[in-house]
Amino acid sequence: MPKAIRFHILGGPEVLTFEEVPPRQPTAGEVLLAVAAVGLNRADSMYFRGQHREPPLLPAGLGVEVVGTVTAVGPGGDAALVGRRFGVISTVPGFSRNKFPVLAEQAIVPADALAAFPDRLSDVEGAAVWTQYTTAYGALVHSGKVTAGDFVLLNAASSSVGLAAIQIVRAQGAISIAATRTARKREELLRLGADHVIITSEEDLPARVRAITGGKLARFVFDPVGGDYINTLGQATAEGGFIYLYGVLSGQPTLFPMSTFTRRIGMYGYSVIEIKEAAHLAAMKRYIYERLADGTFQPQVARTFALDQTVAAYQYLESNAQVGKVVITF
């Protein structure tokens, strides 16, 4: 029987188990993948702790970001998909962590979630594409309309989404200001394309943003943390600007920042699942694929682990030591 990562109780990475699961065949609208690589996300940690917006149905599987080869299609499916390699866009409507866990040797996923990526990318690189680039694209391009000359402040910029956002900001002709807590990530962020880096544990973020922008401040702020720090980010946001909150990693309530009052600043709770219309999904996939193909976008992988090292992989992810994606290989 195929092996998979599961959990039977809520808790930290230590609750994850490596076990055999009964195989199943795809039903209508589904495909079966032989899994080659799975990218880990901080939302996974929220899921096995019971803090995600979708509560896990125990015992539960795990993972949403996968690269694999189609080995079977459900009744009425396109047989031409068999033998082809795909990634998966887990934000398509109806993609449930409970129904479609992918951290396993075999995975069932919706056929309409399949997403091609260029042959030049390895399986490991492919597992570092669709969650981060779609998340950043949806906020920065689809919703925020970031354009040439905009100053864009990216909090927690060393995350996989943050690195994708740096590349998208550059592709849009805008100027990225990457914020990170520790100085040891400064040179790496600059090497990976950030125009400016602010070390939040050492520097006054609003003052540095004001200096970098010549007093304009940032038109767009992209933050996965929330909590009290949103007030500091608000001080760095330009009049008429936007704060997009795409995560709540702080685990703390996030109040509307009082520092933005009287300056016409909008704050949005954002998720890429807002992009549901077929035409918008197609435009997003095309935008990302074309820039992966020509090398404008380059997925960044911090470290790989084997499937039976998944507990250690999530412990590493939660340490915040990484710059880029953590990937499980098969």
Q: E-strand spans in 21-76? A: 30-39, 65-73
- Residue 192 DSSP one-character state: T
Q: 68 and 171: one domain?
A: no
Q: Using CA atoms, how far apart are residues 90 and 112, in angstroms rounded to an integer? A: 10
Average per-residue pLDDT in the chain?
93
Average pLDDT over residues 168-193: 95
For the cut 90, the answer to whether the pLDDT of residue 252 exceeds it is no
Whether residues 71 and 119 share a domain: the answer is yes
Query: Could you tell me the residue range of the domain that residue 49 belongs to?
Result: 3-129+299-329
> Residues of the chain with pLDDT > 70: what percent?
99
State the Cα–Cα distance between residues 154 and 222, nearest whole angstrom: 5
Summarised one tens digit per residue, pLDDT across range 270-310 is 877 777 778 888 899 999 999 999 999 999 999 999 999 99
Those residues whose C-beta lies under 8 Å from the C-beta of residue 184, and which sit 6 or more positions away, are: none
Q: Which residue has the tokens 């042959």?
A: 119
Please tell me the predicted confidence (pLDDT) of residue 77: 93
Exposure class string for 269-281: b at 16+ Cβ within 10 A, else e: ebebeebeeeeeb
Tokens of residue 183, six digits: 């100085």
- Would you say residue 206 has pLDDT above 70? yes
Assigned domain for 222 exists = yes
239 and 310 assigned to the same domain? no
Quick check: helix, strand or coil at residue 229? helix
Q: How many domains does the chain have?
A: 2
Q: What is the CATH number of the domain that holds 303?
A: 3.90.180.10
CA 191-196-199 angle, 5° bins: 95
Record the pTM.
Answer: 0.91
pLDDT digits (tens, 9 = 90+) for 146-177: 999 999 999 999 999 999 999 999 999 999 99
278 falls within a domain: no
Are 44 and 150 within one domain? Answer: no
Q: How far apart are CA 179 and CA 198, in angstroms?
A: 5
pLDDT of 258 > 80? The answer is no
Give residue 278's pLDDT: 80
> 237-245 and 266-269: which strand pairing?
parallel
